[in-house]
Amino acid sequence: MAVLTEEQTMLRDMAAEWVPDRAPVTAFRRVAHEKLGHDPELWSEIAGTMGWAGILVPEEHGGSDFGYLSMGLVLEEMGRTLVASPLIATGVLGVSALRLGGNAEQQAAWLPRIATGEAIVAFACDEDGRHDPANVKLTAKRDGDGFRLDGVKAPVSEGVSADLLIVAARDEAGEIVLLLVPGDAAGVTRTRLDRIDGREAALIRFDGVIVGADAALTGGAALLDRVLDRGRAGLAAEMLGSATQAFDTTVDYLKTRVQFGQLIGSFQALQHRAVAMQGELLMTRSAVEAALAALDEDRDDAPMLVSLAKAIAGDTLRLCSREMVQMHGGIGMTEEHDAGLYYKRSATADATGGNGAFHRERYARLAGY
Amino acid sequence: MSEAFRAEARAWLEANFPPSLAFKNPVPYQNDAPYAEGDPDWIVWRDRMAEKGWGAPGWPKMYGGGELDHEQTKILTQEMRRIGAFNPMKMTGYTMLGPTLLEFGTEEQKAQHLPGVAKGVTRWCQGFSEPGAGSDLASLQTKCVDMGDHYLVEGQKIWTSGANHADWCFALVRTDTSSKQGGISFLLIDMKSEGVETRPITLISGSTHFCEMFLNAVKVPKENLVGEINKGWGIAKRLLQFERDSLSEGRGEGVPLLPLAQERVGTDAEGRIADSDLRTRLVAHAMRAQAYNLTMGRIAAEGKAGQRNDALVPVLKNLGSDVAQVRADLIMEILGEQGLGWSGEGYSDVELDASHQWLHARAFSIYGGSFEIQNNIAAKVLLGLPSAPAPGR
């Protein structure tokens, strides 16, 4: 755990108390089984009561402006119980896009509503089933003062319930532009994707969708990259929480399960694998905290640290969830046990915002390899 | 404040660190006195650091230290790493005995032994392991009998790094046979004492820093006992923490990998390392090394804020040895057949160092408690997993 300020310690403690109490894994199971995307009541508590949707929102727009490390602390706790919420899409990606690329009017229009939880945002970048921000094909043709959008985005996290879509498009000059598109704009068709982890993702078609000149954010491809990095770091924090919980649950099981007349945790073969997981978790935590801190300080090495964090968080969550299934044996394969939920989540979280291969390649280029 | 110190450290290091030592592998200097002392630049470097007190930066000035605080020590380390410098005092005496004596030694013991360590003029060896007591250290048998006005020590030690060049040895000896851990005492032995005999053991790397050490009726003055009689195990455990600590840090040393790979393997039209498989593994290693260094930095910052967790040390030692071993493998691979030289003509210093370092690197996961022992300790102490039943039960 990073050395925290008093404010951050309070925030973390509140999250550590609220999450298992109000949003345990059983709450996630209901959301997943009933294909709710998220539980609106929980979201109103997350945003309204707890104020977490506003952690990155400036104070003049109703937020607390606590920064990315603080947001990471909350996301980590939420990751522990796999809370399905639009917090990353809205509170991290949405707020970051508006803060970094939005003008005063755009910010005034959306940030206050985001801070209260009234508006849910989805960030639509991916198109071809593989995260690749350089490969945006959705077209934004000039149409009077505004744009006409045609194309498909999938998968879009929280894309079914979003009030605002922030869409990465390519203009006639071939440049990337980020556009604010109301979720109910004419020509937008949203289809829920049924995915293994039970979370909300959508396939969204844009058929001649018209938006005004005031829809465009400023910053192009560089803005897209900066916004994505903030979302990736947030997701890495959440993955750290999920991996930590998978590990804790597994170690507890090693201390209670008896086989061959002994606690299975006394077997060296399992002990050493448990310690190996602990080592990976230590390094993941360091990388995640370093990435979030670099974003707070807006440092030049933030992109490298984010890629490090996302890659290692993906590897570690895969390891810990795989070992969770394996060390629980048959019970770990059952729907009734939580192990499978963490295992499924490991695959979707890893793929979202760039998997390990994507981020190792990105790191390589940034480092000069 | 810390930036002012950084500027001071940087200026001093640039003025005083002999460039010929930059990015040299510090291991032979630490373990092989004739090698170190045969290098005039090393002597210069040692003496300048001794005078500055920066060879033992955190120690009190009265013992030859620099009285730097934690932050300054960290900055000094970073600045040394930046120019490929190493601490010439970072030997067994400094990393292990020093902090132990500071915690458990008498005033007389500290005054007698610490300044020589801080100046790099007294070399120490660690007399812990025995032929039958390696990983199971507490089963050691070297006998120590109270003769009234002195102790008489009889037994054999093994894997004693640098014993053939050491001036002193801190040893664990058995003063009571009725209790395994409760019968061990911690003794300082002058290597010039009659009855001390050392014999180097040649390793696969060609290095001879490990020795066998024979103690044949060695007389040891009673004031050389550290702590109380039969209470040496607690001191040893603390010392082993210092050892793991020192072994888990400072893995960044040595020749930088990326420029070496670019030079030896070549780059493609886009400037990428030409061998894509090697490039992939170099990047994976660079990322793990960065994650490891970030972890060491994080743990240090947390320690400074009073959140120190010693139980993590075995995990860190294993992560560090893994990172360093992979690094040694990769350098060999980058060098190709030029990395296969043993000595002499046809090979550069970097190339010869690589092959010896590669062979030496296997020791990282054996010495200071093997990889497996560290995992056992962490499983028990850090994760609270149950002990395996004793054999035969």
Contact yes or no for B384 and A286 at CB 8 A: no
Yes or no: say if B148 and B179 are a contact pair by the CB < 8 Å rule.
no
Contact yes or no for A267 and B284 at CB 8 A: no
The domain that holds B128 is classified in CATH as 2.40.110.10
The answer to whether residue B389 scores a pLDDT higher than 60 is yes
Yes or no: say if A313 and A288 are a contact pair by the CB < 8 Å rule.
yes
Q: What is the pLDDT of residue B35?
A: 86
**Cα A112 to Cα A40, A45, A53, A57, A106, distances in angstroms:** 18, 16, 10, 8, 11
- Please tell me if residue A2 touches chain B, with a CB cutoff of 8 Å: yes
Based on the fold, state whether residues B259 and B161 are members of the same structural domain: no
Yes or no: say if B296 and B316 are a contact pair by the CB < 8 Å rule.
yes
The answer to whether residue B157 scores a pLDDT higher than 70 is yes
Q: What is the pLDDT of residue B24?
A: 83
Neighbour tally for A115: CB within 10 Å? 27
Average pLDDT, chain B: 91
The domain that holds A12 is classified in CATH as 1.10.540.10
The domain that holds A148 is classified in CATH as 2.40.110.10
Q: What is the pLDDT of residue B173?
A: 96
Residue given tokens 């030029």 in the structure block: B338
Based on the fold, state whether residues B266 and B376 are members of the same structural domain: yes
Query: How confident is the model over B34-60, as a mean pLDDT?
Result: 93
pTM, to two decimals:
0.85
**Cα B164 to Cα B27, B159, B367, distances in angstroms:** 16, 11, 18
Based on the fold, state whether residues B206 and B259 are members of the same structural domain: no
Yes or no: say if A281 and A207 are a contact pair by the CB < 8 Å rule.
no
Tell me whether residue A1 is in a domain: no
Contact yes or no for A369 and B302 at CB 8 A: no
The whole-angstrom separation of Cα A12 and Cα A118 is 24
Yes or no: say if B158 and B213 are a contact pair by the CB < 8 Å rule.
yes
Read off φ and ψ for residue A33, nearest 5 degrees. Answer: -65, -40
Tell me whether residue B203 is in a domain: yes
Of A145-154, B50-59, B359-368, the least confident: B359-368
Give me the amino acid identity at A187.
G
Residues of B in contact with A2 (CB under 8 A): 298, 301-302
Q: What is the pLDDT of residue B368?
A: 81
The answer to whether residue B325 scores a pLDDT higher than 90 is yes
- Please tell me if residue A274 touches chain B, with a CB cutoff of 8 Å: yes
The domain that holds B328 is classified in CATH as 1.20.140.10
The whole-angstrom separation of Cα B149 and Cα B154 is 17
Tell me whether residue B63 is in a domain: yes
Higher pLDDT, residue A52 or B30: A52
Q: What is the pLDDT of residue A262?
A: 94
- Which three-class secondary structure state does DSSP give residue B53? coil
Yes or no: say if A78 and A42 are a contact pair by the CB < 8 Å rule.
no
Q: Which residue in the list B243, B249, B333, B351 is annotated as catalytic?
A: B243
Q: Does B243 qualify as catalytic in the annotation?
A: yes
Based on the fold, state whether residues A318 and A355 are members of the same structural domain: yes
Q: What is the pLDDT of residue B253?
A: 57
The model's confidence at residue B392, banded by pLDDT at 50, 70 and 90, is low
For an interface test with A, give the residue of B257, B283, B287 to mutate (most A CBs within 10 A).
Answer: B287
Q: What is the pLDDT of residue A288?
A: 98
Based on the fold, state whether residues A359 and A235 are members of the same structural domain: yes
The model's confidence at residue B359, banded by pLDDT at 50, 70 and 90, is very high
Helix (H) or strand (E) holding B150: strand B150-158
Based on the fold, state whether residues B136 and B14 are members of the same structural domain: no
Q: What secondary structure, in 3-state letters, does A69-135 show? A: HHHHHHHHHHHHCCCCCCHHHHHHHHHHHHHHHCCHHHHHHHHHHHHHCCCCEEEECCCCCCCCCCC
Report how far Cα B57 is from the mean position of its chain's Cα atoms: 16
The model's confidence at residue B23, banded by pLDDT at 50, 70 and 90, is confident
Q: What is the pLDDT of residue B71?
A: 85
The model's confidence at residue B249, banded by pLDDT at 50, 70 and 90, is low
A129 Cβ contact list (under 8 Å, min separation 6): A154
For A242-258, write each residue's pLDDT tens digit: 999 999 999 999 999 99
The model's confidence at residue B28, banded by pLDDT at 50, 70 and 90, is confident
Yes or no: say if B118 and B64 are a contact pair by the CB < 8 Å rule.
yes
The answer to whether residue B2 scores a pLDDT higher than 60 is yes
Yes or no: say if B101 and B59 are a contact pair by the CB < 8 Å rule.
no
Yes or no: say if B176 and B167 are a contact pair by the CB < 8 Å rule.
no
Residue of A nearest to B319 (CA): A279
Pairs of CB atoms within 8 A across A/B: 121
Tell me whether residue B281 is in a domain: yes
Q: What is the pLDDT of residue B307?
A: 82
- Please tell me if residue B181 touches chain A, with a CB cutoff of 8 Å: no
Domain boundary among B173, B200, B230: B230
The answer to whether residue B250 scores a pLDDT higher than 70 is no
Yes or no: say if A224 and A176 are a contact pair by the CB < 8 Å rule.
yes
Query: How confident is the model over B206-219, as a mean pLDDT?
Result: 88
Tell me whether residue A270 is in a domain: yes
The whole-angstrom separation of Cα B29 and Cα B37 is 8
Nearest to B388 among A266, A286, A360 (CB): A266
Based on the fold, state whether residues A359 and A225 are members of the same structural domain: yes
**Å from B376 to nearest chain A CA?**
7
Tell me whether residue B212 is in a domain: yes
Tell me whether residue A275 is in a domain: yes
Based on the fold, state whether residues B15 and B80 are members of the same structural domain: yes
Largest CA distance in chain B: 78
Based on the fold, state whether residues A244 and A339 are members of the same structural domain: yes
Which residue from B198, B170, B163, B167 is spatially nearest to B185, judged by alpha carbons? B170
Domain boundary among B196, B230, B264: B230
- Please tell me if residue A275 touches chain B, with a CB cutoff of 8 Å: yes
Domain boundary among A218, A246, A277: A218
Which residue from A222, A314, A69, A70 is spatially nearest to B287, judged by alpha carbons? A314
**If you count them, how many residues does chain A have?**
369
- Please tell me if residue B267 touches chain A, with a CB cutoff of 8 Å: no
Tell me whether residue A66 is in a domain: yes
- Which three-class secondary structure state does DSSP give residue B387? coil
Based on the fold, state whether residues B175 and B266 are members of the same structural domain: no
Based on the fold, state whether residues A211 and A226 are members of the same structural domain: no
Tell me whether residue B314 is in a domain: yes
For an interface test with A, give the residue of B71, B244, B383 to mutate (most A CBs within 10 A).
Answer: B383
Query: Please, where are the H alpha helices in B83-219?
Result: 92, 98-104, 107-118
The whole-angstrom separation of Cα B209 and Cα B31 is 6
Based on the fold, state whether residues A288 and A233 are members of the same structural domain: yes
Based on the fold, state whether residues A245 and A138 are members of the same structural domain: no
A308 Cβ contact list (under 8 Å, min separation 6): A287, A290, A291, A359, A363, B287, B290, B291
Quick one: A48 exposed, middle or buried, by C-beta within 10 A (0-12, 13-18, 19+)? middle
Query: How confident is the model over B69-90, as a mean pLDDT?
Result: 89
The answer to whether residue B393 scores a pLDDT higher than 70 is no
DSSP 8-state code for residue B138: G
Query: How confident is the model over B208-220, as a mean pLDDT?
Result: 91
Q: What secondary structure, in 3-state letters, does chain A show? A: CCCCCHHHHHHHHHHHHHHHHHCCHHHHHHHHHCCCCCCHHHHHHHHHHCCHHHCCCCHHHCCCCCCHHHHHHHHHHHHHCCCCCCHHHHHHHHHHHHHHHCCHHHHHHHHHHHHHCCCCEEEECCCCCCCCCCCCCCEEEEECCEEEEEEEEEEEECCCCCCEEEEEEEECCCCEEEEEEECCCCCEEEEECCCCCCCCEEEEEEEEEEECHHHECCCHHHHHHHHHHHHHHHHHHHHHHHHHHHHHHHHHHHCCCEECCEEHHHCHHHHHHHHHHHHHHHHHHHHHHHHHHHHHCCCCCHHHHHHHHHHHHHHHHHHHHHHHHHHHHHHHHCCCCCHHHHHHHHHHHHHCCCCHHHHHHHHHHHHCC
Domain boundary among B199, B230, B261: B230
Number of domains in chain A: 3
Residue given tokens 């793990």 in the structure block: B288
The whole-angstrom separation of Cα A12 and Cα A80 is 13
- Please tell me if residue A123 touches chain B, with a CB cutoff of 8 Å: no
Q: What is the pLDDT of residue A206?
A: 98
Tell me whether residue A206 is in a domain: yes
Tell me whether residue A202 is in a domain: yes
**Å from A255 to nearest chain B CA?**
6
The whole-angstrom separation of Cα A118 and Cα B367 is 60
Based on the fold, state whether residues A130 and A20 are members of the same structural domain: no
- Please tell me if residue A250 touches chain B, with a CB cutoff of 8 Å: no
The answer to whether residue B202 scores a pLDDT higher than 90 is no
Residues of chain B numbered 304-323 and touching chain A (CB < 8 Å) = 304-305, 307, 312, 314-316, 318-319
CA angle B210, B214, B216 (to 5 degrees): 165
Segments in chain A below pLDDT 50? none
| Tokens at A319, concatenated | 């390891």
Based on the fold, state whether residues B260 and B177 are members of the same structural domain: no
Neighbour tally for A277: CB within 10 Å? 24
- Which three-class secondary structure state does DSSP give residue B133? strand
Yes or no: say if A238 and A75 are a contact pair by the CB < 8 Å rule.
yes
Yes or no: say if B215 and B156 are a contact pair by the CB < 8 Å rule.
yes
Based on the fold, state whether residues A143 and A170 are members of the same structural domain: yes
Yes or no: say if A121 and A159 are a contact pair by the CB < 8 Å rule.
no
Contact yes or no for B383 and A286 at CB 8 A: no
Tell me whether residue A252 is in a domain: yes
Based on the fold, state whether residues A90 and A147 are members of the same structural domain: no
Of A192-201, B71-80, B245-254, B308-317, the least confident: B245-254
- Please tell me if residue B382 touches chain A, with a CB cutoff of 8 Å: yes
Domain boundary among A119, A145, A171: A119
Query: Please, where are the H alpha helices in chain B?
Result: 2-16, 26-31, 33-37, 40-52, 70-82, 92, 98-104, 107-118, 232-248, 257-265, 276-304, 313-335, 349-361, 371-377
Read off φ and ψ for residue B174, nearest 5 degrees. Answer: -95, 115
Domain containing B257: what range?
250-383
Which residue from B204, B197, B141 is spatially nearest to B164, judged by alpha carbons? B197
| Tokens at B290, concatenated | 């960065």
Based on the fold, state whether residues A192 and A241 are members of the same structural domain: no
For A273-306, write each residue's pLDDT tens digit: 999 999 999 999 999 999 999 999 999 999 999 9
Query: How confident is the model over B132-142, as a mean pLDDT?
Result: 85
Based on the fold, state whether residues B219 and B263 are members of the same structural domain: no
The whole-angstrom separation of Cα A239 and Cα A311 is 11
For an interface test with A, give the residue of B262, B385, B393 to mutate (most A CBs within 10 A).
Answer: B385
Based on the fold, state whether residues A200 and A86 are members of the same structural domain: no
Which residue from A162, A283, A136 is spatially nearest to B297, judged by alpha carbons? A283
Based on the fold, state whether residues B311 and B359 are members of the same structural domain: yes
Based on the fold, state whether residues B220 and B274 are members of the same structural domain: no
The answer to whether residue B247 scores a pLDDT higher than 80 is no
The answer to whether residue B32 scores a pLDDT higher than 60 is yes
Yes or no: say if A318 and A280 are a contact pair by the CB < 8 Å rule.
no
Domain containing A109: what range?
6-119
Contact yes or no for B272 and A266 at CB 8 A: no
Based on the fold, state whether residues B69 and B6 are members of the same structural domain: yes
Domain boundary among A196, A218, A240: A218
DSSP 8-state code for residue B189: E
The answer to whether residue B248 scores a pLDDT higher than 80 is no
The domain that holds A331 is classified in CATH as 1.20.140.10
Number of domains in chain B: 3
